[in-house]
Structure 1
Amino acid sequence: MPLPPRTALEAIYEVVMATIQRAEPALTELGLTMSTTYALWAIDPDEPPPAMKVVAQRLRCTSSSLTFTSNRLVELGYITRTECPTNRRTRVLALTPPGRAAREAALNALDKACPLLRLSDGERAGLLDVLTRALAEAE
């Protein structure tokens, strides 16, 4: 049992860890780990396929870590990794139809598992506002 959080950072950590723990069975059914889930999350299906460098920046990881993670997603049939049509030296990651479905299922599982669902809509909106401002000020 975790200790009660004493700081906002500890509380954020506990929310994330509880969410991951509760969502893990659903993610496992999809063949996903948190690393592969994060990678799917970083590929927005409503945008053009991003370059691997862009996805690595979104995930705050190295290119080699993303290569390892993307290899697994390619094996699962969730993404393709192809040459960028405008720059042959760059690789882009695109969701496949099964990848879009897995991404949606994984994000739904995380949403349902999140302890923040206990808060009202207004409380969650306020929390989002505070965290968004904190992140904007950090950059």
Structure 2
Amino acid sequence: RIKIIALHSYGVNQVSIAKELQVTRSQVRYTLSKKDTPSPSKRSGRPMVMTEDQIDELEVFVTSTRTGRQMSYFELARVQFRHWNVSEHVVRRVLRSRGYERRIAQPKPPLTPDHMRRRKMWAEEHLNWTIEE
């Protein structure tokens, strides 16, 4: 972007700039039309409520213990991290942005009498195993 603006200020036309820098003419034209705006432009949208450090701390807490994983978003926001003054919606959104989602665990199939018998046989066979085995 700086090269395009510099070349244009020296009087080089847009076609020559595009060839020299191996970009399209439309990229050169767009850059020159935006040359008076500050770079990088101010981010749009509402500012983040939580800092990256807070999000990291929340993620560590949720993933480190079973109780942390099983706490509701409300409990995380209003009990565990109440000093941050964030809502459960914010907690849910930042965890989702890191790839975490809540799911109900699938029920495990019940053990049949045959399964129980086989498990008991296996345990009895391996009862006196040493570390080397």
Output the TM-score relative to the length of structure 2. 0.29
Structure number, greater radius of gyration: 2
Q: Which has the higher helix share?
A: 1
Considering Cα pairs closer than 8 Å and 6+ residues apart, tell me whether 1 or 2 has the greater RCO. Answer: 1
Output the TM-score relative to the length of structure 1. 0.28
